Structure 1
Amino acid sequence: MIATHATHTTRIVLPGLVEPDGLEVTSVPVPSPGPKQLLVQVEATGISFAEQSMRRGRYYGQPAFPFTPGYDLVGRVLSAGDSADEGMIGRRVATMTKTGAWAGHAVVEVRDSILVPDQVPSDEAETVVVNGVTAWQMLHRAAKIEPGQTILLFGANGGVGGILIQLALHHGLRVIGAASPRHHEALREAGVTPVDYADPDLAATVRALAPGGVDAVFDNIGGSITRLSFDLLAPGGTVVTYAIVGEVSGTGNLVWPFVKAIGQAALWSVLQNGRRATFYDLWAGHRFRPARFRRHLEADLGRVFDLLAQGVITANIAARFPLTEAAAALRLAESHTLNGKVILLP
């Protein structure tokens, strides 16, 4: 174990149910890694829908206030705890943290950390950590989509959507992207056929584009959109629900919508011959099948990093802010006017 020269670090704290300006910029002692942990000097972190939901107390399983947000990070390893590979010291890692990444230094778990290729800049790598794993696994593990097939993607202008589009086109898929009309021109330029997710005639529009049905739908809205998505499937198709924005954005109980969505997916898969539905959970197996979780994380994020390093996919950075300006960055991210991810740079 080696020590960092810094004794204190910046940490952003979400103190409670506050507006973005209520975020607190604090200075705290640099933490020390425990067993199977690493101390990382953070080089890039970012803002996703998860942090926006946590600010409103609407993210299932979030910790009690106050806490430091930050779902993922990229940084350089400064020291290693007991039973951690000291060969990682000095190298850059990408880590899924769920919380705690909005800081100058962070203690992370070895098993949730993947080495970042030297040729990939930290801010670009940050855009594809959670988003890239999610997109890759939904395409290739959940939907098992094949070249030449057609998919319908809700949230096409979002962080996950932007990476999924690139991976899908690289895989030889036709992409129909559902988003607000203000994002349609950018989607066309990316090679996507855009549709308005709020169009009352959305079903007819999609059926005109794919008369035989779509082979997979990636749904981040839930509720009635999931039902519509299932009806738009071709024989053998799959609906992958990866968020329930419609429910999370409300005010009711958070547990029941998730239970309902998971149960509904299981029931439809049993009752509908050849078509199926699934609820994608990035953290599935993290606690009870850790070795398998790690293998998939390493393989899938590694593949995404390779594609990024080769220039096959590109990082979509909407804006960069210093970590100390997290409030302004969060306000911009919540404006829903962006196409890409907002990056925080400690």
Structure 2
Amino acid sequence: MTALLCEEHGPPEALKLRSDAPVPQPGPGEVLIKIHAAGLNFPDSLIIFDKYQFKPALPFAPGGELSGTVTALGEGVTGFALGDTVSALTNWGAFAEYVVAKAASTTPIPDGVDLDVAAAITLAHGTSHHALKQRANLQPGETLLVLGASGGVGLAAVEIGKAMGARVIAAASTEEKLAIAKAHGADETINYTTADLKTAVKALAPKGVDVIYDPVGDKLADPAFRTIGWGGRYLVIGFAGGEIPKLPLNLPLIKGASIVGVFWGDFVARTPDLHQQNMAELYAMLAEGRIKPLISARYPLAQGGEAIRAMMDRQVTGKVIVKAGETA
């Protein structure tokens, strides 16, 4: 099969397109999927540098979420049949024509859902839905501040927060990105390159925000946390800004606030049934038009490295997908 392989750790420009990669075979509890498209996510830029918590042996293909068609079933797999269209999580391996996925991390795609959309919804929307529902217990009428609000998980948080009945304040680095967040449901917007984030948020929410969704970290974490209200929940999603921030612990103390970690991948592994319930809710939101995942670009498999570079250079809004069946 054709696959875009990381043969040595390094930049995305070093990925190699190979046409003789072996087709993997499903083991017990696994399914083999012919890939239609793979969704691009921030961990893809970490795993090729060997900076992610999952460390596959070389060589491997990046790509941790996908849509496609089931072509083989491993021992003991039930609930799937050959020819089923599915979305799946794999941590890596999806920048290829075929991949093996655990059946517990594979979700049937409802009729009428475009496979490109299905490739783009699982990780970003799954992370944001789990964060806002299980970790933050976001309630209707609460105020949600989303940092990095035009990126994959950030834009998903804007959509899902609005669908859950929250007032959503979207913060991003350009007016163009904020316009996208506004189009996807944000009530208020803040450009944190031209305005002081803490001052701007406090002007919009004098009593403080209830939930902060932070996939950026770095220099935004401290001013963002200082806008939290009594009993607020600060969701630690990731550190796309580069540096892992250090927050003074007197801040959560005086606000009775919580710093809440969100490790969605482990949530899926530990509670697969709850993950499937969440995915059913997301597909219902999609069918009702309450969420509309933005796919801003599509790359052929041979240009998967270029897709990762664009994400690393912060040139991506919403989601980008890599089409496994297109090599040029």
The answer to whether residue 273 in structure 2 is matched with residue 279 in structure 1 is: no
Aligned counterpart in structure 2 of residue 30 of structure 1, from 23, 29, 33? 23
What corresponds to 2:131 in structure 1? 138
What corresponds to 2:69 in structure 1? 76
SS in 2 for 1:117: coil
State how far apart, in whole Å, the 2-side matches of 1:320 and 1:344 are. Answer: 6
Deviation, 1:331, is: 3.0
State how far apart, in whole Å, the 1-side matches of 2:217 and 2:115 are. Answer: 33
What corresponds to 1:4 in structure 2? none
What corresponds to 1:61 in structure 2? 54
What corresponds to 2:121 in structure 1? 128
Aligned amino acid, residue 147 of structure 1? P
Tell me whether 125-134 or 278-287 shows the greater mean CA deviation: 278-287
Deviation, 1:233, is: 1.2
Change (3 A) 1:70 1:177: same
Q: Give the conservation status (yes or no) of the 8 Å contact 2:155–2:181.
A: no
Provide, for residues 75-94 of structure 1, a one-character-per-residue CA deviation record: whole Å limited to 9, x for no partner: 11111011112743211121
Change (3 A) 1:215 1:35: same
The answer to whether residue 205 in structure 2 is matched with residue 213 in structure 1 is: no
Deviation, 1:20, is: 2.6
CA RMSD of aligned residues (A): 2.3
Aligned counterpart in structure 1 of residue 302 of structure 2, from 324, 331, 343? 324
Change (3 A) 1:114 1:340: same
Aligned counterpart in structure 1 of residue 220 of structure 2, from 225, 228, 238? 225
State how far apart, in whole Å, the 2-side matches of 1:70 and 1:224 are. Answer: 28
State how far apart, in whole Å, the 2-side matches of 1:205 and 1:285 are. Answer: 34
State how far apart, in whole Å, the 2-side matches of 1:162 and 1:309 are. Answer: 18
State how far apart, in whole Å, the 2-side matches of 1:273 and 1:208 are. Answer: 18
Q: Give the conservation status (yes or no) of the 8 Å contact 1:68–1:99.
A: yes
State how far apart, in whole Å, the 2-side matches of 1:211 and 1:14 are. Answer: 49
What corresponds to 2:184 in structure 1? 190
**TM-score (structure 1 length as normaliser):** 0.85
Q: Give the conservation status (yes or no) of the 8 Å contact 2:197–2:223.
A: no
Change (3 A) 1:184 1:224: closer
SS in 2 for 1:244: coil
Q: Give the conservation status (yes or no) of the 8 Å contact 2:144–2:166.
A: yes
Provide, for residues 154-192 of structure 1, a one-character-per-residue CA deviation record: whole Å limited to 9, x for no partner: 110110111111111122211111111241232333342
The alignment covers a number of residue pairs equal to 321
SS in 2 for 1:29: coil
SS in 1 for 2:198: helix
State how far apart, in whole Å, the 1-side matches of 2:140 and 2:272 are. Answer: 27
The answer to whether residue 42 in structure 2 is matched with residue 49 in structure 1 is: yes
SS in 1 for 2:88: strand
What corresponds to 1:152 in structure 2? 145
SS in 2 for 1:245: coil
**TM-score (structure 2 length as normaliser):** 0.90
Deviation, 1:66, is: 2.9
Aligned counterpart in structure 1 of residue 197 of structure 2, from 192, 198, 202? 202
Tell me whether 103-112 or 309-318 shows the greater mean CA deviation: 309-318
What corresponds to 1:253 in structure 2? none
The answer to whether residue 291 in structure 2 is matched with residue 301 in structure 1 is: no
Change (3 A) 1:110 1:180: same
SS in 2 for 1:69: coil
SS in 2 for 1:146: coil
The answer to whether residue 40 in structure 2 is matched with residue 40 in structure 1 is: no
